[in-house]
Amino acid sequence: MFGYNQPATDAGLIGCPHCDMLQHLPDLEAGASARCPRCDKELWRSRPDSINRTLALTFAAALLYVVANSVPMLGLTVVGRAAATTVLGGALHLWSNGQQIVGVLVLFTAIIAPALQIGFMLAVCLGALRERPPRWVGMLMRYHPTTRTWSMIEVMMLGVLVALIKISDYATVIPGMALFVLLVLVFLLAGIQASFDPREVWSRIEWAEGEARRTAPDDRLVGINVLSAAGPSAMQHGLQSCETCTLLSRPVPGGEEGRCPRCDEELEFRKAASIQRTWAYVIAAAICYIPANVLPVLTTTTATGADSDTILQGVILLWSPTGWPLSLIVLFASIMIPSAKIVALAYLLITTQRGSIKNNRQRIRLYRTVEFIGRWSMVDVFVDTFTAALIQLQPLMSVEPAPGLLFFAAVVVLTMLAVESFDPRLIWDATSAREVST
């Protein structure tokens, strides 16, 4: 059982989530941001009237989400035959053609996760506006970052754009109302993320253990500020940093684990078995990467026979005087980025295990780059999903998903899980230990 930690500091003292440097957040003017002086991670951005502005944007996003999933997104016509599909139709087509796992992934990333992202944010804002926000607001805040990570409407939109270019060689493509609604929804979701200040919400909600306990200042923490890039880490002071609400707290004497007294999150000084779990995901992704590029991802059947295409063959087919930019996008997103992620993660793991203290800033930038680009590899999954869902013009032509699509989707998911399981603070632990010893 995990017991509640003792809050050891004021809310302005935090440990950087990427390097664990202990520092005070300064007072900021509206729109200004505070960055970690050691790893340059943005720690906080002041957003005035955050809850009200976020609530307005979220209401608009909820309305557009309902419309986007109620009307057709794409349609096509050829020699008197017509076909159309919705966002849900793409996932259902995969399911009915033996690609149940990929179908569930598309359903989750394009429909379920966005719905949870919007729904959680709407509930959080409404709850936070109450005079005494209930504790369930904190619970939703714990899970909202996960829904944001797996909500991929903007990635799907890029995939649909590529599919439009690809399908236009075979038939006349008719963009549906949902396509334009989804485009607006992409910008609304970006606006929600830019306007939301989680610190404002955490300052209002009731703590998991009851009322926040006011503790006396800790003499060991006096003088810590943001002026030095060689400051101590929170772990060196025996403090655990909550990844959900950023509160620093001290476990019970002799304890290594505990619960955040504010949001009830399980706390550890570092993610449990981070290196081992990340290696497992990376190795699994590397294994799946081979069949993902060797096996076909789509099979096209016409009156003259069937033809199967791999990811690389799809890139070549897209290449044309007008379609080469999209061809390059698919090349980078589907072939180069997955392999680069695997190599980059392996490099981070090896250097961290060796206790390297060199190029820490470059390595943390590499980690952030891998974290940012990871989801964009899903582009090809969405391209193949909506291409197959639309081109169902039997007996003239039909397109079905092929086995390579499952392996490619596995590479995307496994590399994203690898990034999630890696603890970037491990990069800096050897440096922090050396600074203390000197």
380 part of a folded domain = yes
- Per-residue pLDDT at 214: 44
- Per-residue pLDDT at 369: 93
What secondary structure does DSSP assign to 185-240, as a single string?
A: HHHHHHHHHHH--HHHHHTTSPBTTBSPPP-PPPGGGTT--SS-TTPPBTGGGT-E
Confidence band (pLDDT; 50, 70, 90) for 246? confident
332 part of a folded domain = yes
Residue 195 CB coordination number (10 Å): 19
User: How much is the CA Rg of the chain, to the nearest whole Å?
Assistant: 24
Strands (E), 53-121: 74-78, 81-85
In this prediction, residues 249-269 reach a mean pLDDT of: 81
Q: Which amino acid is at 129?
A: L
33 part of a folded domain = no
Please state, rounded to an integer, the average pLDDT across all residues of the chain. Answer: 84
45 part of a folded domain = no
Residue found by looking up tokens 């999954």 in the block:
381
pLDDT exceeds 70 at position 157: yes
Give the length of the chain: 438
- Per-residue pLDDT at 384: 87
* Per-residue tokens: 281: 């995901």
- Per-residue pLDDT at 217: 46
- Tell me the C-alpha distance between 378 and 157, whole Å: 11
Strands (E), 123-178: 172-175
- Tell me the C-alpha distance between 403 and 395, whole Å: 23
Long-range CB contacts for residues 63-71, cutoff 8 Å, separation at least 24: 64/181, 64/182, 64/184, 64/185, 64/188, 65/114, 65/115, 65/118, 65/185, 67/177, 67/178, 67/181, 68/178, 68/181, 68/182, 68/185, 69/111, 69/178, 70/178, 71/176, 71/177, 71/178, 71/181
Weakest-pLDDT range from 285-294, 300-309, 351-360:
300-309
* Per-residue tokens: 302: 């016409």
179 part of a folded domain = yes
- Per-residue pLDDT at 305: 67
Closest CA to 60 of 179, 146, 154, 189: 189
21 part of a folded domain = no
124 part of a folded domain = yes
Residue found by looking up tokens 């608009």 in the block:
60
What is the number of structural domains in the chain? 1
pLDDT exceeds 80 at position 168: no
Residue 276 CB coordination number (10 Å): 10
DSSP-derived secondary structure letter, 438: -
pLDDT exceeds 70 at position 181: yes
Confidence band (pLDDT; 50, 70, 90) for 334? confident
Residue 112 CB coordination number (10 Å): 15
- Per-residue pLDDT at 2: 61
- Tell me the C-alpha distance between 270 and 424, whole Å: 9
pLDDT tens column, 96-122: 988 999 999 999 999 999 999 999 999
pLDDT exceeds 60 at position 226: no
- Per-residue pLDDT at 229: 45
- Tell me the C-alpha distance between 273 and 254, whole Å: 20
- Tell me the C-alpha distance between 416 and 426, whole Å: 18
168 part of a folded domain = yes
Task: Measure Cα distances from 203 to 29, 193, 210, 221, 245 in Å.
Answer: 18, 18, 14, 22, 10
As beta bridge partners, residue 120 has none
State residue 33 phi and psi, 5-degree precision: -130, 155
Q: Which pTM value belongs to this model?
A: 0.88
**Residue 98: which domain range?**
50-204+273-433
Q: Which helix (DSSP H) or strand (DSSP E) does residue 6 occupy?
A: strand 6-7
Helix (H, G, I), strand (E, B) or coil at 241: strand
